[in-house]
Amino acid sequence: MTGPIRPDALARDGARDPDVRLRTTETVLDDWFHVRRFHLESPGPDGRARRFTRLSMARGDRAAVLPYCPARGTVVLTSQFRVPAFLHGRPDGRLLEVPGGLLDADDAGTAVRREVEEETGFRIGELREVCVTYLAPQLSSERTHLFVAAYDPGHRVSAGGGVAEEGEDIQVRELPLDEALDEVLSRPAADAKTLLLLLYLRPLMSCA
């Protein structure tokens, strides 16, 4: 599901716990992202109905990829301003991340190829899907589709940097894998999807 979760979708999904029932939902915020308050009900330990509420934020699913060059042992990351990094003590507010973005109307593979070219200028090879993950399930319904893909340094079609019209100011970092991992871990806090993909790739690169 690439858009905000709808109450009717919750009710129809047979994979969900049948003991949990959605009673009502309300919109708290409908802007760049959507915040909904869900009113739910489930049996308590004594068998009586227990009512509870949860907030969930949605913007749509995302995809991200770690481009790597087996011949050179390098990876491509991006660096851009993120408010949480700034608030947690990094003066320039920049966070080191794998390229990626919203799916919008595309499938995950198409979206991640678009995003990596916009952000880094590289065209990547065959995608290897790692997993689909919730990065903050206590807060957001967003899922992130994670991939790794080889790149050839000679297949760079632009300087990257993101879309200027969208206010993006992205620096491209091409680093040896171990150096990239060390730098990510040296920050006050690491981007979770980036750390996961770097750790996933490390044994694969060691065997290459």
- Evaluate whether residue 72 is within a structural domain: yes
Our count of domains for the chain comes to 2
Question: Based on the domain organization, do 54 and 97 belong to the same domain?
Answer: no
160 and 94 share a domain?
A: yes
Query: pLDDT value at position 193?
Result: 96
What is the structure's pLDDT at 87?
A: 85
Q: Which of 21, 42, 58 is the last residue of a domain?
A: 58
CATH of the domain at 103: 3.90.79.10
| Domain assignment of residue 2, yes or no | no
Task: Looking at the structure, tell me whether residues 82 and 109 fall in a common domain.
Answer: yes
- Looking up tokens 């790739």 gives 201
**Which of 58, 74, 99 delimits the end of a domain?**
58
Instruction: Please report the pLDDT score of residue 11 as a whole number.
Output: 41
Neighbours of 193 (CB within 10 A): 22
The identity of residue 123, as a single letter, is R
Same domain, 38 and 92: no
Inside any domain, residue 150:
yes
- Is 1 within the bounds of a domain? no
**DSSP strands (E only) in 32-188:** 34-43, 49-58, 62-69, 74-81, 94-97, 100-102, 122-134, 143-156, 171-176
Question: Given this model, what pLDDT does residue 208 score?
Answer: 63
Is residue 92 located within the same domain as residue 24?
A: no
- Any domain includes 88: yes
Decide if 68 is inside a domain: yes
What does the pLDDT profile of the chain (208 residues) look like in tens digits? 334 444 444 444 444 545 888 888 898 888 877 888 888 888 888 878 888 888 888 788 999 999 999 999 999 999 999 888 888 888 888 999 999 999 999 999 999 999 999 999 999 999 999 999 998 888 888 999 999 999 999 889 998 887 766 666 899 999 999 999 999 999 888 999 999 999 999 998 877 6
Same domain, 70 and 52: no
Q: Is residue 87 part of a domain?
A: yes
Residues 186 and 89 in one domain: yes
Q: Is there a single domain that holds both residue 85 and residue 54?
A: no
What would the two tokens of residue 54 be?
Answer: 């949860």
**Helical H segments across the chain, by residue range:** 7-12, 83-87, 108-120, 177-186, 192-207
Q: Domain check: are 30 and 85 in the same one?
A: no
33 and 77 housed in the same domain: no
pLDDT of residue 18: 58
Dihedral sign, Cα of residue 68, residue 73, residue 79, residue 84: positive
In a domain, 140, yes or no: yes
Tens digits of residue pLDDT in 13-27: 444 545 888 888 898
Domain end (from 32, 58, 84): 58
Please check whether residues 34 and 94 belong to one and the same domain: no
Are residues 72 and 47 part of one domain? no
Which pLDDT score is estimated for 136?
A: 87
Give the residue numbers spanning the domain of 137. 62-207
